[in-house]
Structure formats: C-alpha cells, structure tokens
Chains A and B, each alone.
Chain A
Amino acid sequence: MTTMRRSVMWQRVNRVLLYTAITALFLAVVFPFYWMIVTSLQPQDAVFTVPPELWPKHPTFQNYIDAWNAAPWLRYFGNTFFVASASTLISLVTSSLAAFAFATINFKGRETLFNLVLSVMMIPTATTLIPNFLIIRTLGWFDTFYALIIPFAASVFGIFLLRQYFMSTPVELWEAAQIDGASRLLYFRSIALPLAKPAIVTIAINSFLGSWTSFLWPTVMTQSQDKQLIEVALNSFLGEKGQQWSQLAAASVFTTIPIIILFFFVQRQFIEGIGGGGIKG
C-alpha cells in the first residue's frame, strides 16, 4: 500500500520535473523571439534602458510604420517571393522528370549519368562560389533574377528522393496504363507524380525556404536595390539603422513572419523530412 502510494507520488514528482525542465529549455529557446517582439514595440529611447524593460511600458506600433516606410519592403517581398517560387517550381519540374527517367526508363548511359548527378553532392556550393560568379558574369546574368533562379533550377536532393518514390511505384501500374494507351508523359503526370506527393512537398518546402533565407549567393550575384532579396535587404537596413533597435526589431519581425506562417502549415512534413532523411541511406 505505502509502496504504491510512494510510487504514485514519485511519478508525480517526475512529471513536475519533466514539465519544469521542458518549460525552462523552451523559454530559453523562444526568448529571443519574445525579445524581438518586445523590442519592436518599444519607443526608440526605451531600448537603451538599463536594466532592459521585460515588458514595454509604452508600447507603440510606430516602429513598424517607420521601418516599413524606410525601405521598399514590398518590392523586396515581391522579389523574394518571385525568386523562391520560380526556383522551386522549375526545380520540381526538372528533378521529377530526371528522377522519373532514372527510375523507370531503361536508356543508354543511365547508370553513368546517375552516378555523375550523385557526385554533384560532393561539391559544396561554398567552394564553387567564385567560378559561379565568373560564369554568371560571363552569361550577362550579373544583377538579374536569372542569377538567383537558374542555378537552383536543378536539385540533386530532389532527384534522389523522387527517384526512390518512382522506383517503389508498382510496374503493373505502368503496364496497365500502356494497355489503356497512355503515353509515358501522361502516365508520369497522372499516376506517378500524384503518388510521389509527399516527396514533392518536402522538396518544395526545402527549396522555397532555401531561397527565401538565402544570403551569401544574392549578396554576391546582385547589386542594385531593385533586385535585392529580403535577407540581403534586411542586412543593408541594419547598416543604415545602426542602433535603432526598435525599428530593426520591427523589420526583423515582419520579414520573418511569412516564414513562420509557412512553417505552421508545413511543419509536420518538414520535420518528418529531416527526421526520416537523417539516417537511412
């Protein structure tokens, strides 16, 4: 009787400890976001208060208005959205076509080509930045959207993942489609592709997030203000605003919100994509 009561109590203590630990870690991780929001609502002079106010005494939305009016943010959002969508769409088309061929079509040189594509993964983008700068300039694409889209119009990760999906699609489906007189392209579009939807979602999220948050590449490949992507623009804004933390925080908030909203919708697929891809070969 007493041992049972003790173990129940022990369990309760354990639960309290568990939730305390999780909450503490959670607060530590989330605090900078809280601080970003609090700072964005502070009047400019309040950000220099020592010690800082944990809760704004005189919250104001003025920083958002000032920060928004200080730069052509709508343009930056438009650029980023356009570049991210275009590179995602194009890379989905190219990699699903290639993956389909690698998985289902028996063509000459298939293995060689596939190994060549896979070996691309061994060349990190950081090491090809300089020659790519030269190539982009030679193509006349410096400071254009082409420079931000076309180099990302293929995805080895996408080809690899989709190929696995297409290979696991039963051959009988293709045979049946052929008997019904379907062409290869029709089969690809109406049967194989819909079956690979989870992979497509994962690739799309990766690609979209990747180009939305890109910084080094657009820093190197673009110059004029009307070609800037959001992260580069935010860094320039930091250069202009120096220590006007409340406006900087406001700009950080409104440039981050689209990503957070997107993440809320796709977080399960995204997290499973990472968790699942971690170990298996």
Chain B
Amino acid sequence: MTRIPLRRHLAYEDGFSLIELLAVMVILGFVMTGIISLYLSGTNSQARLSSAFQAQSGLHLALDKMRKDVHLSCSQTAQSATSVTLSETPCDGTVLVTWCTQANGSFYSLYRVSGSSCTGGADWADYLTSGSIFSYLGPNQTNTTPATGSYALPRLHVDMTINPTPTSGSTSFRVVDDLVFLNGARQ
C-alpha cells in the first residue's frame, strides 16, 4: 500500500463536488425527517396515553373516595343529576359531604365539598364529558324498574365518562357503578 506523506496530502486541494454535497444533504434530509417524525409520533402517543392514564387514575381515586363516603353515610339529604349530599356519622345532619360536578372549560370536574353547597372543595377528577352523573336507586330498585323481592339496598348510580384528549376518541373512558348505602334499609 502506498502511503501519501501528510504534507503532500494536505497540499491537495481536491474536495467534494457540489453534486456530491447536494446528494449527501438530500439523503441526510430524508433520514432526519424520518427520525424526527418517528420521535414526534412517539412523543405524542406517549403524551396522549399518559394523559389518559392520569385521568383514569384520578377517576379511580375519586370513585374509591366516593364509595367510602356512600358506604359510611347514613342517608342522602339532597340529590340531583349533578350533585349529591350525604349525611355522615353521627347522622344528625351536622356532618355533610357533597359530591358535585362543576363546569371547567369545555369539560366538567368532580368535587368533594364539606357541607351542603357545591362551592369550593377538592377537585377529585377532571375531563368529565357531562356534569349529569348521579341518579338515586331506592331500596328494591334496579337501574330501570322496581325489583320487588330483591331486598336490594338503596344505591347511588354513577355514570361518568372522561375524555382527556377529545381529538382522539380512543381515550374515552366510561364507568358505570352503583354505590351501595350500606346503612340503608332493606324493604
């Protein structure tokens, strides 16, 4: 193998032609575009999934808390599609807890408030698509009709749908649950 002396090598003025440079830049452009689009796509998917997961986890915590409140409550003192007030122990009306929804931009948020009015309180879940989430099922009642003979305890029917990224329908998440008033009467 012939070795070119360094001084002589450096003296060469041969470089890349414009065509070679353009070809390299075009190829590099294609490769970089692919990598960047892959990166952005991955980041977007991760952000969307992360947002959906956080909203689901928040809803899970909220439903658990609400379940405990309903289990421990003696009765409900007021109820509408957007709000329910529970009378907690000692059951003399002095300890009231209200779960309610309030508009939050184009969505609704779920709040837990000490007292009977839906003012202030702690925000437990966001991105609800509707504020009307509550309905009351009395003793011996199913979701639609009386269930004579079931002796079912009264329940709070909750129907919540969240959608943290509305542009992507796949993140919609709907939970339907009947929370039981364990201190209610069987009839």
Q: Verify that A and B bind, or say they do not.
A: no
Q: What is the interface of chain A, defined by CB distance below 8 A to chain B?
A: none
